[in-house]
Structures are given as C-alpha cells and as structure tokens.
Amino acid sequence: MFHFPALHTSRLNLREIVESDAENIRQIHGDAEYMRWFGSDPVLDLEGAKKLIATFASWRKEPVSGARWAIELRGQPGLIGTCGLFRWNRNWRSCIIGYEIAPAHQGRGYVKEAANAIIAWGFREMQLNRIEAQVHPDNAASIALLEAFGFPQEGRQREVGYWAGRHHDLLQYALLNAQWSTENAA
C-alpha cells in the first residue's frame, strides 16, 4: 500500500486529496475567471471534481508520475488549494510544479509556503535535478512567485496550451537543484 507523503509547514498541512474534498475542488476549479490560468476548462459539477481527484490520485500509481497535495490550514480542516509535482521523468530527474488556491485565501503567502515545502521535498525525496513551470504570460502572481524562488525564465512556448476555446502561449521557467541548494539553504 502506498503511503502518501504528508508535509507540514508553520501554517499548513499538505495531505492527500481525497473524495471528501470534491466540493472544495469544485468551488475552486469551477470558477471560470479564476481558472483562466490553470490550463484546463472549469470543472462544472461535483462529478467532474471527483474525476479530477481521481486523476490526481492516479499520478501516484506505477509508473509514478507525481503527487498532488491538498493545502489545508493547520487546525482548520478543509482544502483551500492544491499544489503538486507532476510529469515526473525519472530518467531525466525532472518534473513540473503546479498550484492553485481559493480566491478567499490569496495574498497570504500560503501558496509560497506550500510550494517551498514541495520543492524541497522534490529535490530531496524524488532526487530531482530540475523543476519546471509553465505559466500564462498574464499570470503576474504566479510569475512573481516563481521568480521569488529563483526560477529563471527560459523562453516562451507559442500556443502550447488549449483551453477556454483558444490556444495560449506559456512562459517556461525552471529551477535546478544546485540553485535551490545555494539560494535556499537554511
């Protein structure tokens, strides 16, 4: 049986996403305006949220392709967002980071705190050399977060994404383990 890697920070618990999180997932992923940066169309109903949770869970099955954590405030059960490492290429020792948080919890540093924990976990436990991120050019908050962690921009992928009925460019960012170790050593 697979043991999901629960992580803890000063304000957050990062835990497995479970079916009882479906309503919170639907609320976050069902908001078309908020999800304009996520890279997929909004989740329209509870069944769609359950399918998304099943997709996240499937990432942990062999061959392992990543993990997605529920972001939860310590002492306050209930998912307020998710973060994850996915598309794990074991041979290349690389993966992609993704995250989102409910609009009511934005601007409080929760995503930065959660991302810090999963980046450290990825470099340490997954033995990653490279963590990538693809970000919509208009997603200023996500770009600022990545740059705060030292992710340099590597280029622009033209019309690589398709959602909301049209193609989207994405900016490519990546952080190497050597950069993380140097810049984030405590």
Which helix (H) or strand (E) segment holds residue 45: the answer is none
Predicted confidence band of residue 112 (pLDDT cuts 50, 70, 90): very high
Find out whether 49 and 25 touch, Cβ atoms under 8 Å.
Answer: yes
Predicted confidence band of residue 64 (pLDDT cuts 50, 70, 90): low
Average pLDDT of the segment spanning 118-123: 96
Find out whether 104 and 145 touch, Cβ atoms under 8 Å.
Answer: no
Whole-number pLDDT of residue 157: 96
Peptide bond into 63 cis (omega under 30): yes
Predicted confidence band of residue 7 (pLDDT cuts 50, 70, 90): very high
* Threshold 0.85, pTM exceeds: yes
Nearest to 122 by CA among 140, 98, 139, 143: 98
Whole-number pLDDT of residue 62: 59
Annotated domain spans of the chain: 7-184
Count of positions (residues) in the chain: 186
Amino acid at 93: R
| 77 φ/ψ sector (left φ>0, alpha ψ -120 to 50, else beta) | beta
Predicted confidence band of residue 182 (pLDDT cuts 50, 70, 90): low
Cα 75 to Cα 66: distance, rounded to the nearest angstrom? 27
Find out whether 84 and 95 touch, Cβ atoms under 8 Å.
Answer: no
The tokens for 98 are 């993704």
Handedness of CA 182, 84, 41, 162 (dihedral sign): positive
Phi, psi of 173 (to 5 degrees): -125, 155
pLDDT at 136 over 60: yes
pLDDT at 77 over 60: yes
Helices (H), 37-159: 46-58, 110-125, 140-148
Whole-number pLDDT of residue 186: 40
pLDDT at 1 over 50: no
Whole-number pLDDT of residue 56: 83
Predicted confidence band of residue 137 (pLDDT cuts 50, 70, 90): very high
- What dotted CATH number matches 7-184? 3.40.630.30
